[in-house]
């Protein structure tokens, strides 16, 4: 079974600063995806960024980028030029592939990110 650990329950930064959210995972699988999801107060789960484990290049999406360290099983999210609208819960998630298709997502407990004006 996979586990996903987010060690920062809450973080607070000033608007326009850069912030990094940490995530580590444990798996014995070789084929998998990693995700960061944002969940604002509306509770809608929104995909921020995803990383294929077989790709060495770190994924980027505008102000969001990841630092994927496969050997260390680490997957951190960097948010540059943070904005007030980035305030939300952020979840790291793992998805394996068990031959018959992709598995369900395994989520961490989340990090509550607060962007201060």
Partner 1 sequence: DAGVTQSPTHLIKTRGQQVTLRCSPKSGHDTVSWYQQALGQGPQFIFQYYEEEERQRGNFPDRFSGHQFPNYSSELNVNALLLGDSALYLCASSGKGWYGNTIYFGEGSWLTVV
Q: How far apart are CA 96 and CA 81, in angstroms?
A: 32
**Which window, 56-64, 66-74, 76-84, 87-95, contacts partner 1 (CB under 8 A)?**
87-95
Nearer to partner 1, 64 or 97 (CB): 97
Closest CA to 52 of 20, 96, 98, 103: 96
Q: How far apart are CA 34 and CA 72, in angstroms?
A: 14
Mark residues 44-83: x for contact with partner 1 by CB under 8 A, - for none: xxxx--x-x-------------------------------
**Which window, 10-18, 19-27, 55-63, 104-112, contacts partner 1 (CB under 8 A)?**
104-112
Q: How far apart are CA 117 and CA 76, in angstroms?
A: 24
Place of tokens 């699988």: 29
The pair of structure tokens assigned to 39 is 């969940």
Residues of this chain that bind partner 1 (CB under 8 A): 4, 33, 35, 42-47, 50, 52, 91, 93, 95, 97-98, 100-110
């Amino acid at each position: 079974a996979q586990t996903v650990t987010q060690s920062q329950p809450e973080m607070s930064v000033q608007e326009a600063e850069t912030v990094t959210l940490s995530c580590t995972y444990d798996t014995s699988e070789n084929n998998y995806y990693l995700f960061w999801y944002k969940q604002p107060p509306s509770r809608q789960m929104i995909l921020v960024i995803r990383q294929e484990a077989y790709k060495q290049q770190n994924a980027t999406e505008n102000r969001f980028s990841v630092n994927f360290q496969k050997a260390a099983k680490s997957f951190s999210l960097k948010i540059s030029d943070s904005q007030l609208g980035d305030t939300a819960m952020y979840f790291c998630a793992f998805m394996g592939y068990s031959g018959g298709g992709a598995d369900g997502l395994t989520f961490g407990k989340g990090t509550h990110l607060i962007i201060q004006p």
